[in-house]
């Protein structure tokens, strides 16, 4: 009996010692712990309980329940101010509570302590807190749909736990002023998520690693004034820390390994953030806002410029930055910034993008090497007047340079290769592409107009889709695609003048398009030089063919271009549709060239 009381005394002393530094790290009000009556579960002592819930039911506010090592198949609800402490038989043999398919530990009373347990649940959260001023520490969740959820709970301390291998690690829902400290969250589907106005939380000194789906930390909409400090974020599937629409976020002193920071925030929100003293892959993360005339240091591992001007980024080497698909992130991120020079940088193995630009105008991006970035080399949205020149952009799954809703940009003398689409202009107008080497397909889409594509080598063909008009292709060599030029869906009044269209299956395919001008082009070594489909009523006027060179022309004018007219019929009986009428149709090049043209730049 003396040994038993001595063990209890030592445990209570350790509880007090461990509790003090936990509270020293936070600004929460101090949680008072009353020890009251001592109750025991498991073990061989006289009067010990065999079920934890029975001890809880018999306890009163302020009591302490000690649970000896063993497996307890039960769901417990802590609805009184209690301290539950597991007594391990060794460093590895810790009391295990398994509820099957329910929430295993539900705490609804305030000012509780849950200390030193292993917890399992097949279908739900291991631990659910619907309480305030509660401590959960030294626990691990071995199997569960989620490890711990704070549901409209505040001023709690979650510290020194291990959450590994489940779906959701830590979830805060409508929960504020909590401290999440010194936990290991590893191999989760989602490591940590803050939702529904979870504000003023301190997330400090944790290790978030190897999330299998998304982020190390996902800070949701309206979850403002959270502090993320001195955490390690390593090899999470998409991004280290992702911030949605929120104000007053602080990201300080964190270490990122093969992860980075990404945002979906507005500019006023971004300007309210404090982001400093973070590293990525042993290099510094630089976050500048409302600044000008700065040379970014050469030890940069990720760079954000928010509403900045006249910066220089030169000779930086940035790699292995993961920031999540279609988010403001990447190795270098320009947001509402202008007159930035990015030169001589090597940006590689970033996901999804090497360089991201939004609402950023009149910047110069030259002589950089962007390689093996997962989806995009450069993603540029709502930006104008930028110059992309003499860059080498290669090897990614999607697009080398992607301009969305961006106008008046110049893309010249770049070499772009090993993408499914090397250059894509989407809803983008009045851009110039000049003297680029484009080693696979180019796409123009979504009513892009008045772009000029001049003296480029395009291997893989050009797709022009969905209402793109008045674009001009001149002096290009377009080769080695299934289609040299593919026009689709009311892409009208585009001009193709003095291009080489060579070595394709179909040189030009036009579907439901009209008034496009093909003039003085060379059609050489294509399986079919040109083919078209008109749809009656949609296509009242033809495309025009003027003075092109056709290497299969027999010399007797005119040169015929074969196609078809499709006439749709409307049936009043939906069960008996009327088949379309398809008729052969022909356009003519009335004065084809006798010899191929000498085309500049080719």
Asked whether the beta carbons of 336 and 345 are under 8 A apart, the reply is no
Domain extent at residue 567: 481-602
Residues contacting residue 314 through CB under 8 Å, at least 6 positions apart: 295, 296, 341, 342, 343, 344, 345
> Degrees (nearest 5) of the Cα angle 357, 297, 262?
35
DSSP code string of 189-224: SEEEEEESS--S-EEES-EEE--SSSEEEEE-TT--
SS3 call for 199: coil
Place of tokens 């992702």: 242
Residues contacting residue 553 through CB under 8 Å, at least 6 positions apart: 559, 592
Tell me the C-alpha distance between 399 and 439, whole Å: 12
What's residue 602's pLDDT?
Answer: 65
What's residue 569's pLDDT?
Answer: 80
Domain assignment present for residue 579? The answer is yes
- Two tokens at 441? 């397909």
Domain assignment present for residue 547? The answer is yes
Asked whether the beta carbons of 96 and 72 are under 8 A apart, the reply is yes
- Reference 210, options 232, 234, 176; nearest CA is 234
Asked whether the beta carbons of 565 and 537 are under 8 A apart, the reply is no
Number of neighbours of residue 112 by Cβ within 10 angstroms: 26
- Two tokens at 219? 């800070």
Domain assignment present for residue 31? The answer is no
CA dihedral 305, 307, 308, 313 (to 10 degrees): 20
Which residue ranges in the chain fall short of pLDDT 50? 1-33
Domain assignment present for residue 492? The answer is yes
- Reference 279, options 215, 214, 230; nearest CA is 230
Residues contacting residue 541 through CB under 8 Å, at least 6 positions apart: 514, 515
SS3 call for 10: helix
Domain assignment present for residue 17? The answer is no
User: pLDDT tens-digit profile of 134-147?
Assistant: 999 999 998 888 99
Relative to beta strand 472-474, strand 317-319 is unpaired
Place of tokens 């690690």: 169
Tell me the C-alpha distance between 265 and 327, whole Å: 10
Burial 235-264 (b: 16+ CB within 10 A, else e): bbbbbbbbbbebbebbbeebbbbbbbbbbb
Domain assignment present for residue 584? The answer is yes
Number of neighbours of residue 222 by Cβ within 10 angstroms: 15
Number of domains in the chain: 1
Give residue 88's region: left, alpha or beta (phi > 0; psi -120 to 50): beta
Burial 362-380 (b: 16+ CB within 10 A, else e): bbbbbbbbbbbbbbbbbbb
Domain assignment present for residue 489? The answer is yes
Model confidence, pTM:
0.90
Domain assignment present for residue 365? The answer is no
Tell me the C-alpha distance between 537 and 566, whole Å: 10
What's residue 329's pLDDT?
Answer: 94
Please measure the distance between the N-terminal and C-terminal CA atoms of the chain and give it in whole angstroms.
96
SS3 call for 538: coil
What's residue 541's pLDDT?
Answer: 87
- Reference 61, options 139, 14, 131; nearest CA is 131
């Amino acid at each position: 009996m003396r040994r038993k009381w001595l063990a209890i005394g030592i445990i209570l002393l350790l509880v007090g010692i461990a509790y003090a530094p936990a509270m020293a790290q936070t600004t929460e009000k101090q949680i008072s712990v009353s020890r009251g009556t001592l109750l025991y579960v498991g073990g061989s002592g006289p009067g010990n309980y065999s079920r934890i819930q029975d001890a809880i039911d018999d306890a009163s506010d302020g009591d302490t329940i000690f649970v000896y090592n063993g497996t307890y198949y039960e769901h417990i609800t802590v609805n009184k101010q209690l301290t539950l402490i597991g007594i391990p038989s060794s460093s590895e043999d810790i009391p295990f509570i398994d509820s099957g398919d329910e929430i295993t530990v539900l705490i609804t009373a305030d000012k509780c302590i849950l200390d030193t347990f292993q917890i399992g649940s097949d279908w739900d959260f291991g631990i659910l807190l619907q309480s305030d001023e509660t401590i959960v520490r030294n626990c691990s969740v071995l199997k569960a749909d989620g490890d711990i959820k704070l549901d409209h709970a505040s001023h709690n301390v979650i510290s020194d736990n291990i959450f590994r291998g489940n779906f959701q690690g830590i979830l805060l829902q409508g929960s504020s002023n909590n401290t999440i400290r010194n936990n290991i969250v590893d191999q989760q589907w989602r490591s940590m998520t803050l939702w529904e106005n979870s504000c003023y939380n301190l997330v400090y000194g944790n290790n978030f690693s190897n999330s299998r789906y998304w982020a190390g930390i996902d800070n949701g909409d309206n979850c403002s004034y959270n502090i993320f400090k001195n955490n390690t974020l390593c090899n999470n599937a998409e991004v280290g820390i992702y911030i949605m629409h929120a104000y007053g976020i602080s990201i300080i002193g964190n270490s990122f390994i093969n992860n980075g920071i990404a945002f979906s925030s507005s500019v006023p929100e971004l300007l309210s953030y404090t982001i400093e003293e973070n590293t990525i892959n042993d290099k510094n993360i630089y976050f500048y806002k409302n600044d000008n005339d700065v040379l970014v240091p050469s030890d940069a591992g990720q760079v954000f410029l928010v509403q900045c001007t006249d910066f220089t980024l030169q000779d930086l080497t940035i790699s292995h930055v993961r920031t999540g698909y279609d988010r403001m992130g990447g190795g270098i991120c320009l947001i509402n910034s202008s007159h930035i020079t990015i030169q001589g940088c090597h940006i590689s193995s970033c996901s999804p993008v090497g360089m991201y630009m939004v609402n950023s105008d009149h910047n110069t991006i030259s002589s950089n090497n962007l390689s093996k970035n997962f989806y995009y080399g450069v993603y540029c949205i709502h930006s104008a007047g930028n110059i992309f020149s003499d860059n080498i952009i290669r090897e990614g799954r999607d697009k080398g340079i992607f301009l969305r809703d961006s106008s008046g940009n110049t893309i010249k003398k770049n070499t772009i290769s090993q993408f499914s689409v090397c250059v894509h202009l989407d809803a983008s107008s009045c851009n110039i592409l000049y003297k680029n080497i484009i080693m696979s397909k180019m796409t123009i889409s979504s009513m892009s107009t008045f772009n000029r594509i001049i003296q480029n080598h395009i291997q893989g063909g050009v797709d022009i889709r969905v209402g793109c008009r008045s674009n001009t292709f001149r002096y290009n060599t377009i080769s080695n695609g299934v289609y040299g030029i593919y026009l689709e869906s009311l892409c009208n009044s585009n001009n193709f003048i003095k291009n080489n269209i060579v070595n394709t299956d179909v040189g030009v395919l036009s579907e439901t398009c009209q008034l496009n001008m093909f003039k003085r082009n060379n059609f050489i070594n294509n399986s079919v030089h040109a083919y078209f489909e008109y749809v009656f009523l949609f296509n009242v006027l033809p495309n025009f063919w003027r003075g092109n060179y056709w290497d299969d022309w027999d010399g007797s004018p005119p040169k015929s271009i074969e196609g078809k007219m499709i006439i749709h019929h409307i049936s009043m009986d939906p069960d008996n549709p009327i088949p379309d009428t398809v008729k052969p149709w022909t356009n003519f090049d009335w004065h084809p060239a006798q010899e191929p043209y000498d085309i500049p730049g080719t």
